[in-house]
Amino acid sequence: MKLWDKGINIDKKIEEFTVGNDREIDIHIATYDIQASLAHAKMLHKINSISTEELQQLIEGLATLQSQLENGTFEIASQFEDVHSKIEFELTQKYGEVGKKIHTARSRNDQVLVALHLFYKDNLQLIKEHTRTFFDTLLKLAETHKEALLPGYTHLQVAMPSSFGLWFSAYAELLIDDVYLLDAAIKTVDQNPLGSAAGYGSSFPIDRAFTTNELDFKTLKYNVVAAQMSRGKSERTISMALGSLCNTLARFAMDICLYMSQNFDFISFPDELTTGSSIMPHKKNPDVFELIRGKCNKIQALYTEMLLITNNLPSGYHRDYQLLKEHMIAAFEDTKDMLEIFNYSIQQVNVKAIDLNDEKYKYLFTVDSINNLVVEGISFREAYQKIGKQVQDGTYSSAASKKHTHIGSIHNLCLDGIRRKFPE
């Protein structure tokens, strides 16, 4: 069944190519199409396009389909082009003519669009909640390990002392910037496109404010052409937000892979969280974090994909938009999974004590040595030159400076401020 079927046979090769894998993908938006169809049916009743009895039949039929979704018996068979045709077919099979009326004042274009907006809005909110959970975990770890010294690096060279508290809370604060973008994406999709039909509105006296309220949208997309043109723009906005979050996760995962290596040896994880080698029995590989890094980099590329598919399309609907769904939906599923597994894994991190007697940390405290001289009254330039000379001639000793590291004071200043910044 096709919503656009006019009784003309279509070449099977053309049908297979144009339908693609919509049947599999549409399972993810089926519940949202049911929600939108229910709101649309109530609106049709409000404007007297269907009777009270017909509305009750549609409510009952849509509730049955939702139950099938929840118990796993809902299936989009090969006879259907997509979830939208499946739902209309089932309603028509059970209730006859009223099932055919559900499409009144509606196009498959705005039907897909509103279902996607609802899916995006819900899943962006879920990702924001997962991010908040991860944020709280990182701040707890920061508090727990605030006194644990971590050598800081610049240019991958030993630089100056830091702490695990600063490391954990640094990534926590970066997550706040990512949530700002998630909030912007939520605001972008929290606009009701239903009623824009094929992109040029409907001659029926529809009540778009009613469906906006019924579907819990913040506002509606007033201009029907703009509603249709939001397809692609919404995906670009969302992929930018997901990409920003994944950039933070990927960098954190890279740090973990680096710090787990024997050359750094700053942290470890229980054996159960690592994998082995088929020929090297000593290996404990950080596969979880490597996969997070790889998946995050893939999602960061999504914005470019969304841009290239849509950036030169004129106004109106184009079938190119069908290509946006698959990778957008996959990105949401992957991001939720990664936040969950990252949060689960990082709570089991083992922070190791750093051996400051190791030769490579010989100059870790040079900045503190300079600062100590400045406190004693020497100018910074003179202090810098003095310590620099000691480094050059091999007479530098960091023994005194190790006792006066600045890390504690920095850490105490930042945690409360970071907590207050997270958007509600």
Is 50 exceeded by the pLDDT of residue 4? no
Q: Tens digits of per-residue pLDDT, 179-202?
A: 999 999 999 999 999 999 999 999
Tokens of 34: 């049911």
Residue 5, number of CB atoms within 10 A of its CB = 11
Q: How confident is the model at residue 424 (pLDDT cuts 50, 70, 90)?
A: confident
Going by C-beta distance under 8 Å and a sequence separation of 6 or more, which residues neighbour residue 105?
A: 40, 44, 49, 195, 197, 202, 204, 206
Q: How confident is the model at residue 18 (pLDDT cuts 50, 70, 90)?
A: low
Q: What is the mean pLDDT of residues 86-97?
A: 94
Give the integer Cα–Cα distance in Å for 89 and 76: 11
Name the residue among 298, 281, 377 with its Cα closest to residue 333: 298
pLDDT number for residue 282: 65
Q: Between 322-346 and 287-300, two packed helices, what is the crossing angle to 10 degrees? A: 150
Beta strands in 36-139 (DSSP E): none
Q: Tens digits of per-residue pLDDT, 60-71?
A: 999 999 999 999
pLDDT number for residue 15: 60
Is 80 exceeded by the pLDDT of residue 407? no
Q: What is the mean pLDDT of residues 108-136?
A: 97
pLDDT number for residue 22: 72
Q: Are 207 and 47 in contact (CB under 8 A)?
A: yes
Fold of the CATH domain 12-101: Fumarase C; Chain B, domain 1 (1.10.275)
Give the integer Cα–Cα distance in Å for 115 and 22: 14
Element holding 66 (H helix, E strand): helix 52-71
Is 50 exceeded by the pLDDT of residue 1? no
Q: Are 236 and 253 in contact (CB under 8 A)?
A: no
pLDDT number for residue 3: 46
Q: What is the mean pLDDT of residues 272-281?
A: 65
Stretch among 4-13, 132-141, 389-398 having the lowest mean pLDDT: 4-13
Is 80 exceeded by the pLDDT of residue 149? yes
Q: How confident is the model at residue 139 (pLDDT cuts 50, 70, 90)?
A: very high
Give the integer Cα–Cα distance in Å for 209 and 90: 28
Q: Are 391 and 363 in contact (CB under 8 A)?
A: yes
Is 50 exceeded by the pLDDT of residue 2? no
Q: How confident is the model at residue 283 (pLDDT cuts 50, 70, 90)?
A: low
Task: Please tell me the total number of residues recorded for the chain in this structure.
Answer: 424
Fold of the CATH domain 108-147+164-191+226-351: Fumarase C; Chain A, domain 2 (1.20.200)
Give the integer Cα–Cα distance in Å for 164 and 171: 11
Numbered ranges of CATH 1.10.275.10 in the chain: 12-101
pLDDT number for residue 6: 47
Q: What is the mean pLDDT of residues 337-354?
A: 96
Is 70 exceeded by the pLDDT of residue 112? yes
Burial-class residue 414 by CB neighbours within 10 Å (0-12, 13-18, 19+): middle
Q: Are 422 and 177 in contact (CB under 8 A)?
A: no
- Most confident of the ranges 3-12, 19-28, 173-182, 316-325: 173-182
Numbered ranges of CATH 1.20.200.10 in the chain: 108-147+164-191+226-351
Name the residue among 22, 46, 49 with its Cα closest to residue 33: 22
Give the integer Cα–Cα distance in Å for 13 and 18: 9
Top-confidence residue, 362 or 77: 362
Tokens of 181: 């973008």
- Mean pLDDT of all residues belonging to the chain: 91
Give the integer Cα–Cα distance in Å for 246 and 339: 9
Name the residue among 89, 29, 34 with its Cα closest to residue 65: 34
Dihedral of the alpha carbons of 292, 298, 299, 301, in degrees to the nearest 10: 150
Q: What is the mean pLDDT of residues 312-340?
A: 94
- The pTM assigned to this predicted structure is 0.91
